[in-house]
Amino acid sequence: MWIKNLLIGLLVLIGITLAGALIMLGIANSGVEARELTDSDMMLDWMARLDDDTPLNEVYIPGTHDSGALHSFLGVSGKCQSYTVGEQLKMGVRFFDIRLQLRGSELAVVHSFVDQRLTFDEVLDEIKVFLTQNPSEFIIISIKEDADAQEPELPFEKAVEDALSEHLGSLLSTDKNVPSSVGEARGKTHIVSRYGGASIGIPASAGWADSTSFELGELFVQDYYAIDTVEAKMHDINSAFSVAEKKNHALVLNFTSCYLANGFPPAHAPTTAKLINPLLCEILSNGEAAPCVFVTDFVTPELIHQIINENFR
């Protein structure tokens, strides 16, 4: 009996030690922490400086991956941003990657199994207020069902489209094509529909490939997210710049977000973001990037400003 109790005690001790190590790892690698924003960080109406006839594939657009993911599991998995959706809007982000789970009739923002303590309604209300106050801007939202529904009271696609219509009203574009120009896009929220059964938005559910680059209708997407090295990911990002330069697609989504598949923990975005974001800033400052949507983890005001400034170089 004493041997059994000893083994149980050892297992408990190992579990506590491992949990402590994971928590400390999370503290040490929690990404770029949010700082208090200043007036100089705000880029509320930067699109007002763009000509109406500018095609969207000639615009450098700051975006965020898992835009609502500010919370993690033990600091290890789940967190991808340090600033709220509202703060990202004010800083100049115009592309949002929103992952959802249907719970009854409510849509919750999640990152896989990690609840983000945010509802889709709250995200849409932030966007409505922002676009109402800044009609020169346009927003693109990619919407994906990221976790199985819990006791759903209606289909996921109906819940999403009812919420979009109810909260955004005339600020919602239901068009299934990428807007042809900035002027056509202004003042609206445009949807990239990464969910099945979508009746509105740019269709992007069937054919979205896993951890690779691919063409999907009018879109070109670079989304290698399980990587072996940061150098390999930077090659993927630069390859998407080469595609964007040819302007054969209405919009290029260049995901700079990723994690080291051979690292510990593997699904840990902060580790790679701390390395990749400074490299992005260097590429931008050297004028070596091409117009696209930059879909980033742990975006900062400094990175956003550099992306936006490329439009006016």
CB 81 within 8 A of CB 67: yes
Query: Strand, helix or coil at 114?
Result: strand
pLDDT of residue 29: 42
Residue 67 CA to residue 50 CA, distance in Å, equals 25
pLDDT of residue 72: 80
The structure's pTM equals: 0.90
Q: Name the burial class of residue 55, with classes exposed (0-12), middle (13-18) and buried (19+) by CB atoms within 10 angstroms of its CB.
A: middle
Q: Name the burial class of residue 148, with classes exposed (0-12), middle (13-18) and buried (19+) by CB atoms within 10 angstroms of its CB.
A: exposed
Residue 158 CA to residue 151 CA, distance in Å, equals 15
pLDDT of residue 87: 98
Residue 111 CA to residue 160 CA, distance in Å, equals 17
pLDDT of residue 34: 87
pLDDT of residue 268: 77
First CA to last CA distance, the chain? 75
pLDDT of residue 277: 97
pLDDT of residue 266: 62
pLDDT of residue 264: 73
DSSP letter, residue 293: E
* Parts of the chain with a pLDDT under 50: 4-30
